[in-house]
């Protein structure tokens, strides 16, 4: 079975921060605008109040708003809640054995290339995935690839995937609004998993926010199952 620790490690390797720093029992990440996953601090073991203070100060010194990723750590969760941190973006891992997820993507044509083409960058930009997140992709473990789906002879969607220790992680899947509810996302997920199978992946996985019910329904329909969860803590006055 695929462990939660393996998923967390694969997530970090396939969507990495610009830099990591150690602050006592915390690992701090420099995201450089790449989003919460690459900007949050994580804790190994336990932390005192003074060590939490130090992590907060160190993140501020890096020019970042203090942000913590909580991974089944109730003591840290309670300590941050007591400091006024709000729970943000509960997130679920979904995973499946690669042979259960992979399929040749017909009738959608799925092309792959690295680095991304201008049309891929534009589709991502239209969905709010800008240069900072493209920089995250460029730092990801190899093999990695960017994908573009063509449907009805038009560019219909984009996605990114990378592998680490036999786990293929899907990121930044975006379907053009004009092609939603037409099966494009389903074929893209299957096709990207098929590429990953060709790269030697044994598992196919992704992370999705708990509130994204449409995406969760899709992944469940593709025989992917919930395999773990995490969330963030951030002070309300610091949230965008």
Model confidence over 48-74: pLDDT tens digits? 999 999 999 999 999 999 999 999 999
Model pLDDT for residues 201-231, shown as the tens digit of each residue = 999 999 999 999 999 999 999 999 999 999 9
Q: What does the pLDDT read at residue 237? A: 67
Q: What does the pLDDT read at residue 105? A: 67
State phi, psi for 42 to the nearest 5 degrees: -125, 155
Residue 180 has pLDDT above 60, yes or no: yes
Query: From CA 186, how far away is CA 108, in angstroms rounded?
Result: 10
Nearest to 184 by CA among 215, 211, 206, 161: 215
Query: From CA 27, how far away is CA 80, in angstroms rounded?
Result: 16
CA angle, 104 then 110 then 112, to 5°: 115
Residues 6+ apart with CB under 8 A from 159: 146, 147, 149, 170, 171, 172, 173, 174, 188, 189, 192
The stretch 180-192 carries a mean pLDDT of 93
Q: pLDDT confidence of 35, banded at 50, 70, 90?
A: very high
Q: What does the pLDDT read at residue 181? A: 87
CA angle, 67 then 142 then 220, to 5°: 65
Q: What does the pLDDT read at residue 75? A: 98
Q: Are 125 and 81 in contact (CB under 8 A)?
A: no
Report all structural domains of the chain as residue ranges with CATH numbers, in order of start.
Answer: 16-90+231-238 (no CATH), 95-229 (3.40.630.30)
Q: Are 15 and 169 in contact (CB under 8 A)?
A: yes
pTM of this prediction?
0.94
CA angle, 97 then 35 then 2, to 5°: 20
Q: Are 98 and 197 in contact (CB under 8 A)?
A: yes
- % of the chain surpassing 90 pLDDT: 91
Q: Tokens representing 209?
A: 């926010």
């Amino acid at each position: 079975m695929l462990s939660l620790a393996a998923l967390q490690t694969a997530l970090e390797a396939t969507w990495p921060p610009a830099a990591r720093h150690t602050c006592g029992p915390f690992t701090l990440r420099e995201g450089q605008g790449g989003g919460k996953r690459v900007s949050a601090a994580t804790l190994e073991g336990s932390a005192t109040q003074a060590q939490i203070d130090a992590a907060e100060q160190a993140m501020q010194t890096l020019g970042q708003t203090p942000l913590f990723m909580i991974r089944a750590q109730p003591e840290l969760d309670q300590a941050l809640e007591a400091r006024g941190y709000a729970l943000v973006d509960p997130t679920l891992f979904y995973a499946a054995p690669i042979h259960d997820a992979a399929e040749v993507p017909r009738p959608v044509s799925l092309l792959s290339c690295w680095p991304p083409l201008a049309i891929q960058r534009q589709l991502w930009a239209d969905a709010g995935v800008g240069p900072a997140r493209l920089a995250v992709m460029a730092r990801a473990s190899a093999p990695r690839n960017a994908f573009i789906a063509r449907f009805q002879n038009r560019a219909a969607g984009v996605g990114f995937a990378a592998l680490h220790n036999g786990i293929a992680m899907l990121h930044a899947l975006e379907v053009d609004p004009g092609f939603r509810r037409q099966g494009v996302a389903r074929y893209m997920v299957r096709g990207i998993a098929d590429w990953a199978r060709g790269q030697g992946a044994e598992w196919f996985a992704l992370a999705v926010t708990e509130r994204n019910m449409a995406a969760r329904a899709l992944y469940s329909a593709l025989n992917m199952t919930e395999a773990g969860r995490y969330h963030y803590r951030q002070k309300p006055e610091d949230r965008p």
